[in-house]
Structure 1
Amino acid sequence: MTDSHYAARRVFAQHVPFAPTRYQCFDAARLIAESVVGTAPDVSCVIGIASGGIEPARLMADYLRVPLHFVTAKHNKGDTPWQQATSNVEVVVDSSLPECFVGTVLLVDDIAGTGATFSAVSEALNGRLDDDAAIMSAALFRNRGCTQPPDRWAWTVNDWVVFPWERPHHGSTQPLPPLRQVSAR
């Protein structure tokens, strides 16, 4: 799927990558999950966008006590730091996904670089939504260049992020500022 609407570009200061700890990522996922409690309609399931959204989605689904599902969406050419994402997002919806979702479906990824992935996955799920269903998006990080931010996120960054579930970065990294609050649009 190509979407020229997403001409946004990720912003990278290109100093050194941010390197959140597993605990920081888990704490952010918990805080985001807490922030969606009471959403109308209630969150009925969590869908993690593979591969980066798998870990935070597991935590959010566990916290919310709702079913967990996965979809795959790719548009990066690899995991080399400071690369711009393409606007060509390939979404693979597994046949094990329910045919019809009700309530609020919480889409989860580790980072929103431009917003294109959330848009493409939402579009791929549109035919599976009940008339009263809604999609809400959440990411641990939002790149400063993201023009279509998720509905919830923990940190806004202006550099590459190396996640604890990715291949380790062998250079310098920078710590994250303390998480003060979950941001919402």
Structure 2
Amino acid sequence: MTNTPRTGRRVFAQHVPYAPTHYQCFDAARMIAESVVGIDPDVSCVIGIASGGTKPARLVADYLKVRFHTVTAKHNKNNAPFQQATGDVEVALPDTLPEHLSGTVLLVDDIAGTGATFAAVADALNDRLDYSAEIMTAALFRNRGCPKKPDRWAWTVDDWVVFPWESPHHGPTQPVPALKQVSAL
């Protein structure tokens, strides 16, 4: 297990949380997958960051017809809304993850709040990357305060996001706008 300190502050307008639908999340994952078709080097595997990135990552891997893996990365103390990230990310690599990764390794998460999770997972994978391997990051959402943007993302938000695979939010929520394109660096 790796514990990597990071900095950054999420931005929360604190109106009401965004609540994307399953369909919107699945459509965003498909659009992210389409956005990486033909990159060089090709995406060789997709790694979902558990738990929130697991579902979208599996969809991306299925679309691209590449291997799918998961890693666990934690930094929030709980799932309470509007909490700032601690900056301390604990990463656990499973025994089933290959010892050598090549091509483009696509890390997928549900949200990039500060970029700390992507950075910590990339650091943890560093010893497994072949000399020509590259890490690419993708998230369904990017918080407006995220200082290091992922390579691909669907929506930029300024409030908490309640995902359809999480416990239901008891209170009002706001919809996310229709997705027209994926943002890329």
State whether TM-score is above 0.5.
Answer: yes
Q: SS at 2:118's partner residue?
A: helix
Residue 85 of structure 1 is matched in structure 2 by: 85
Shift of 1:2: 3.7
Shift of 1:7: 2.6
Structure 2, unmatched stretches of 5+, are: none
After TM superposition, the score normalised by the length of structure 1 is 0.98
CA deviations on 1:88-117 (whole Å, 9 max, x unpaired) are 000000111000001000000000000000
Within 5 A, what are the aligned runs for 1:17-32? 17-32=17-32
After TM superposition, the score normalised by the length of structure 2 is 0.98
Separation in 2, partners of 1:154, 1:2: 26
The structure 1 segments of at least 4 consecutive aligned residues displaced by more than 4 Å after TM superposition are none
Shift of 1:43: 0.2
Shift of 1:14: 0.4
1:111 lines up with 2:111 in the alignment: yes
Separation in 2, partners of 1:149, 1:94: 26
Q: Relative to structure 1, is the Cα distance of residues 2 and 97 closer, same or farther in structure 2, using a 3 angstrom cutoff?
A: closer
Separation in 1, partners of 2:99, 2:170: 43
Residue 130 of structure 2 is matched in structure 1 by: 130
CA RMSD of aligned residues (A): 0.6
Separation in 2, partners of 1:102, 1:160: 35
Residue 48 of structure 2 is matched in structure 1 by: 48
| Number of positions where the alignment pairs a residue of Structure 1 with one of Structure 2 | 183
Contact 2:7 2:116 in 1 (8 A): no
Within 5 A, what are the aligned runs for 1:88-103? 88-103=88-103
Matched to 1:49, the amino acid is I
Shift of 1:8: 1.4
Give the share of equivalent positions with the same residue, in percent.
73
Structure 1, unmatched stretches of 5+, are: none
Residue 71 of structure 2 is matched in structure 1 by: 71
Q: SS at 2:55's partner residue?
A: helix
Separation in 1, partners of 2:92, 2:4: 14
Separation in 2, partners of 1:128, 1:167: 34
Residue 182 of structure 1 is matched in structure 2 by: 182
Residue 60 of structure 1 is matched in structure 2 by: 60
Within 5 A, what are the aligned runs for 1:143-162? 143-162=143-162
Shift of 1:180: 1.5
Separation in 2, partners of 1:55, 1:153: 15
Separation in 1, partners of 2:57, 2:7: 27
